[in-house]
Amino acid sequence: MCKQLFLFFAAILVLNFVEAQSPTIASFSPLSGPVGSLVTITGTNLTNPTAITIGGVSALSISNTGTSLVAMVIPGAIAGKVKITTAILVLAKRDSCTATQMP
């Protein structure tokens, strides 16, 4: 009985893993801005990211609809790619975004 339950739950986990879709980034805006700026990232399968980075620095997720994610640029961010990582370790990358210093 335990073995059958284990196989049942293992099958559910595998099906969930297979059904998971990779995130894609179609666009983001603005292309540059000061620390504290909100960057809107649009794409698909953006739900439940485990990490968002801008220029290699973690960004703070403000809101997320699955197709539109708003992230805040935090101190230390520089020019670089916008990246989203999900729980299944797939990564979406898109172009470059620049964090500028405030005047």
Give the CATH number for residue 72.
Answer: 2.60.40.10
Question: Residue 50 belongs to what domain range?
Answer: 22-100
Amino acid found at 85: T
Question: Structural domain tally of the chain?
Answer: 1
* Residue pLDDT, tens place only, 5-41: 444 454 455 445 545 677 888 999 998 888 899 999 9
Per the domain annotation, does 96 fall within a domain? yes
- 14-18, 32-36, 60-64, 75-79: least confidently modelled range: 14-18
Whether pLDDT at 82 is above 70: yes
Dihedral sign computed on CA atoms, order 35, 38, 43, 49:
positive
Please state whether the predicted TM-score (pTM) of the whole model is above 0.85. no
Which residues, at least 6 apart from 6, have a Cβ–Cβ distance to it below 8 Å? none
Where is mean pLDDT largest: 7-11, 15-19, 71-75, 90-94? Answer: 71-75
**Edge-first strand listing for the sheet containing 57-58:** 32-34, 91-100, 80-86, 49-54, 57-58
Per the domain annotation, does 48 fall within a domain? yes
